[in-house]
Amino acid sequence: MAMATRTAMVASSSNSIKSCLIVVHRRVINLLKPRVKWTTSSSSLSPVSADYKSTNRETKKSNLTDRLSAVIEVANDRKVPPELRGQRNNVRSETDIVNIVEKRIWQSMEEGDFENLPGKGKPLDVSTNPHAAPDEDTLYRILSKNGCAPEWVELNKQIRNDAADWRTSLKKAWGYKINENDAKWKESSEVLKIQMGAINNKVFRYNLVVPFGHQMNGINWEKELDRLNDS
């Protein structure tokens, strides 16, 4: 009897251990299975793909870039005369814009739009510059009261004076070449080229600070010689 009871207890214990092992085994399998996220749609369940997320992100970024480009294009169009708006690809240079502006000025002059303007025949009030930023206007007035001028005005004077003196020296040195004094011509031309480089450096600086439309060209050695040769 005792033997039968002990056998039954062992069998029951063995079944419990087997059940526990099965449960543990199933849990381990579940842990090892790859996890996949699912989203609920109106029709069915579909896995969220990483590729889909990446594509969606790139599409949004592309749309945002297109919208920004459109805004920039509209802003740039407002900088040109109405005749050229929407035709930015046909604008080859800023000279095209200047030509349009000059054409409109001449048209207004022919139509008499500049006649009988307020203050006609009276001295202009140059105490303020309505086209300059307030801070720049204040700076220019301070410079004017103290007998000074903006940097680009001073540079313009220096460049013109230096260029005039340089051309006088070149004309004098050209006489050595005409008289076939090659040694003197070579010596003078080397000095003149160094001076020309200094003047062109001032021209480069001037073109950086001068308002648009007032830029100037530097001195070109070959063109200056051609001018002397033709004279």
Question: What phi, psi does 48 have (nearest 5°)?
Answer: -80, 115
Let me know if residue 30 belongs to a domain: no
Percent of the chain with pLDDT over 90: 24
Inside any domain, residue 92: yes
Q: Quick one: 224 and 162 in the same domain?
A: yes
215 token code pair: 């830029």
Q: What is the mean pLDDT of residues 62-85?
A: 65
Question: In whole angstroms, what is the distance from residue 23 CA to residue 38 CA?
Answer: 26
Provide the pLDDT confidence category of residue 94 given band limits of 50, 70 and 90: low
Asked if residue 3 is part of any domain, the answer here is no
Distance CA 206, CA 159 (A): 9
Place of tokens 């903006």: 150
Question: Could you tell me if residue 14 is inside a domain?
Answer: no
By residue range, what is the domain housing residue 208? 151-230
Paired tokens of 219 = 């001195």
Q: Is residue 160 part of a domain?
A: yes
Distance CA 58, CA 51 (A): 11
- The whole-angstrom separation of Cα 81 and Cα 100 is 7
In a domain, 218, yes or no: yes
Q: Is residue 69 part of a domain?
A: yes
The whole-number average pLDDT for the span 82-109 is 68
Asked whether residue 215 is domain-assigned, the answer is yes
Structure confidence by residue, pLDDT tens digits, 127-141: 777 777 777 778 778
Q: Are residues 99 and 159 in the same domain?
A: no
In this structure, are 100 and 164 located in the same domain?
Answer: no
| 104 shares a domain with 158 | no
Number of structural domains the chain divides into: 2
At residue 174, does pLDDT exceed 80?
yes
